[in-house]
Amino acid sequence: MRLKIDPLKCVRCGLCEVACSLNRDSVLTPMSSSIMLHVDDKANYFGLVLKSGGSCLVLARPEGTSTGQQAGGSGGPGAKPILLREACDFCEGSPRCALICPTLCITVVD
Ligand code: SF4
Ligand code: SF4
């Protein structure tokens, strides 16, 4: 199982982040989720970062999706840097981020 992210479908609602943290920590906050939305309004730019197994990061930006080990941003004051967060465990088989994403930006593929 893996998550496929189509960044051009993202409407930047942030629901994936809070769904992840709610499932993981029973807290509604984007500060520790395995998926992180980055929005820069001034630059009219955004991206999603997913921490998957082995500290691999999936970077989903308007230019395309790539994988790597690059350090991501922290997601705001008080938030853990993405590399220090728990890796995605697919919510033990029922990925909440994909279920809640209103635009099918995140989908599950085998
Ligand atoms: S599948 Fe679950 S653990 Fe993985 S990023 Fe989505 S909500 Fe978080
Ligand atoms: S839930 Fe979907 S549309 Fe909303 S921020 Fe996450 S990926 Fe983007």
The secondary structure of 37-103 as a DSSP string is EEEETTTTEEEEEEE-GGG-EEEEETTEEEEE------SSTTPPPGGGSPPP-GGGGS-HHHHH-TT
**Which of 18, 90, 107, 108 has most ligand 1 atoms within 8 Å of its beta carbon, as the pocket-test mutant?**
90
pLDDT digits (tens, 9 = 90+) for 20-78: 999 999 999 888 899 999 999 999 999 999 999 877 999 999 999 999 876 556 666 66
> What's the whole-number average pLDDT of the chain?
90
Which residue puts its alpha carbon closest to atom 1 of ligand 2? 101
Higher pLDDT, 110 or 108: 108
CATH numbers and ranges of domains, the chain: 2-109 (3.30.70)
| Range with lowest mean pLDDT among 2-6, 17-21, 83-87, 88-92 | 83-87
Confidence check: pLDDT of 85 > 70: yes
Q: Is any ligand 1 atom within 6 A of the Cβ of residue 90?
A: yes
